[in-house]
Amino acid sequence: MGRRTFSREFKVSAVSLVSQQGYTVVQAAKSLGIDPGSLRGWLKQSPAEGGTQSDQAGAVQAELRRLREEVRRLTMEREILKKATAFFAKESP
């Protein structure tokens, strides 16, 4: 019998059975028809969220980009409000 390969989605689902749904490694492996050692290896490679390290790094980079864009937008809005406040302060009798 040859070596079986599993998709990333299958591995993530298997890991979530153990980490999120409370199955033991043996129970989850038996219900999925896989070797418990394989599942243990996937658990070691996977952080608590069920993603790989590179997926997490990509998510962190995306969040960083989003936050930087938000800071840029909020800074611009603050500057506009400062100018509007100064303008209306001059206009007040």
The token pair at 14 is: 């298997």
| 15 closest CA partner among 35, 55, 58, 44 | 44
Dump pLDDT digits (tens) for 3-52. Answer: 888 898 899 889 988 888 888 999 999 999 999 999 999 988 876 544 55
pLDDT of residue 35: 93
Rounded to the nearest 10°, the torsion over CA 36, 39, 45, 48 is -120
**Domain limits, the chain:** 8-91
pTM (two decimals): 0.49
Q: At what angle do helices 36-45 and 25-32 cross, to 10 degrees?
A: 120
